[in-house]
Chain A
Amino acid sequence: DTGVSQDPRHKITKRGQNVTFRCDPISEHNRLYWYRQTLGQGPEFLTYFQNEAQLEKSRLLSDRFSAERPKGSFSTLEIQRTEQGDSAMYLCASSLIGRNGGTDTQYFGPGTRLTVL
């Protein structure tokens, strides 16, 4: 088990450009989450998937943000027309939820640090 991986680890872009991040969850994990963390703050929930279905999106996720999880494996988070306020660490986590639901432990990736100039 190699853990949750994220790519790239760092991204520097100019305002107005589009960026895309990738997350590979722990194999067999059926839930995948995206969080955003700004300096000095705890992570804030953005969205999550159960298998390929996106089940909830936070109001923090403006229409410039889109996330996908085709085939229920890896996920991508795209930010269009980036703004300086998008500068943050984007964290991905995955978990395994049983048939009866409930909460299971989320395992986090190393994050992608985005800097918008």
Chain B
Amino acid sequence: AQTVTQSQPEMSVQEAETVTLSCTYDTSESDYYLFWYKQPPSRQMILVIRQEAYKQQNATENRFSVNFQKAAKSFSLKISDSQLGDAAMYFCAPTGTYKYIFGTGTRLKVLA
């Protein structure tokens, strides 16, 4: 069975600073993908970044990047130059062929 652990229920970051959100997981899949989604208050889930597990190179998407450690089953998200609009719940979701298993989320607060 897949499990996902996001050990930081809440994080705070000063505007323009960098923050890292952690995620560890367990899976029996040999080929899988990993996603980070953000969910702003009362708004829908938005894809932040995606990583294919077979790729060694860490994914980047503008100010967002991941540190993927396959052997350690760790998939952290780094947000650089944090902006007020980054404030949201962030969910980590590793997946096999179709099913997303979400963590409990990390609430990110951005301080002006």
Contact = CB atoms under 8 A, between A and B. Distances in A.
The 4 A-B residue pairs with the shortest CB-CB distance, nearest first, are A42-B102, A108-B45, A110-B44, A103-B33
A106 B44 contact: no
A42 B47 CA distance: 14
Interface stretch (A17-25, A43-51, A65-73): A43-51
B50 A45 contact: no
Contact of A111 (B44, B50, B91, B96): B44
Interface in B93-110: 93, 95-105
Nearest to B99: A45
Interface string B8-52: 000000000000000000000000110101000001111100100
A44 B97 CA distance: 16
B47 A103 contact: no
A103 B45 contact: no
B91 A109 contact: no
A98 interface: no
A44 B102 contact: yes
Contact of A42 (B44, B50, B103): B103
Contact of B43 (A41, A44, A101, A110): A110
A46 to B, nearest CB: 11
B14 to A, nearest CB: 25
Given A105-B47, A108-B45, A45 B100 contact: yes
Contacts of A101: 97
A41 B98 contact: no
A48 B98 contact: yes
